[in-house]
Structure formats: C-alpha cells, structure tokens
Amino acid sequence: MDKSRAAFPKVCPVNWQRRHTKNNQTITTMNKIIILKANSNTGKTTKINTIADWIITTHGAANTIGLDPAHLTKDSCGVLTVGKLNILVNSAGDDHASVLKIDAALQSFHGQVDIILCSCRTKGITYQHLYKNYNRSTGWLDVIIPIAEFTPANPTRQAARDAALLAEIQAWLTGLPKL
C-alpha cells in the first residue's frame, strides 16, 4: 500500500447496502454522496448551506449543524434528520482537515448516514480523499457536481448556474421516503 493511501482510512459503514422488508419484499438501498467540486471562491459553502437551510425549512429538520441562515458563507457541519433519513452536511471542503470532518461525523453517527452533502476542490488532497473513500466500491453512490467558473466574473451567468445547481441537488434529495 502506498503512503498516500495509508493516510486515508477506509470509511465504509458496516451496512452499506441496507436491506429493508416492506410488504414481504426485500429492498436494497445504497448511501449517496453528493459532492460539489470546484475551485476556491466559487460559492461551494454558500450553495451547500443554502441546501441545508432548504432541508431545515422545507422538511422540518432541526438545525443541528450550527447553520446561520443570515451568514451562509460560514462553514457548517453535522447531521440533519428528516424522518428516518440522516443527511450529513459539511460545507467546508477547501483543505484536508475540513474533509476529515466527514469521517469524524460519520463515525460519531455510527455509520447510520444515508446521504452526505459536501464539497471539495477540483484536485488535490480533498478530492483524492473523497474519491478514494466514498465511491461505489465502498458503498456510496457518488454524485459529483462540477461548478463552472466564469472568467471574468459574470453575475447573470453565475446566478443562472447557481439556480440550476440548487435545483439539481434538490432533485437528488427529493423522492421516496426512507423505509
């Protein structure tokens, strides 16, 4: 095993493929990880916090992540619970310590997290950590959403991009309730 791989513990919940029985039918589910991938200063934190605020206000989850709706640029991390569904939210993703918060939160919740919503840079240690530890072989259906960067800055195009990104993430989070 190479040294870089040794630094990243394999994170895989014991029950990564959960089996549920409903109406005498066995249903198998996988966990999801939704990753916003972009360069610095593209609004990753704001977008994730906006989705967390949407989950709290629309679906009645308690604000257990320290989210301040008045300051969406401030990092937040924790687990939101909607019914039986646990969503780990980590808006920080610019450095390795920020991404390691996902591992710690997952372990403190004993692996009982259904969805992870997080961010990372386009390359480097944050991307490598998520790519190596949260993928289909470790039981995570990975949804990587790149954030386009506009140079020079174009507020009209950025607003349209952000609206489309938020709608996509909401679509991934909306669906059938957990059994």
Query: Given its phi and psi angles, is residue 175 left (phi above 0), alpha (psi -120 to 50 degrees) or beta?
Result: left
Residue 15 lies in a domain: no
Q: Measured between alpha carbons, how far is 88 from 58 in angstroms, rounded to an integer?
A: 17
Residue 38 lies in a domain: yes
Residue 150 lies in a domain: yes
Residue 72 lies in a domain: yes
Q: What is the pLDDT of residues 66-82, one digit of tens each?
A: 888 889 999 999 999 99
Instruction: Find the CATH number of the domain harbouring 115.
Output: 3.40.50
Residue 112 lies in a domain: yes
How many domains is the chain built from? Answer: 1
**Sign, Cα dihedral of 112, 59, 119, 30:** positive
List the domain range (segments joined by +) for residue 155: 27-173
Q: Do 92 and 75 touch, CB atoms closer than 8 A?
A: yes
Percent of the chain with pLDDT over 70: 82
pLDDT, tens digit only, all 179 positions of the chain: 333 333 333 443 434 445 545 566 655 567 999 999 999 888 999 999 999 999 999 998 999 898 888 899 999 999 999 988 999 999 998 899 999 999 999 999 888 999 999 999 988 899 999 999 999 988 899 999 999 988 888 999 999 999 999 999 999 988 766 65
Residue 78 lies in a domain: yes
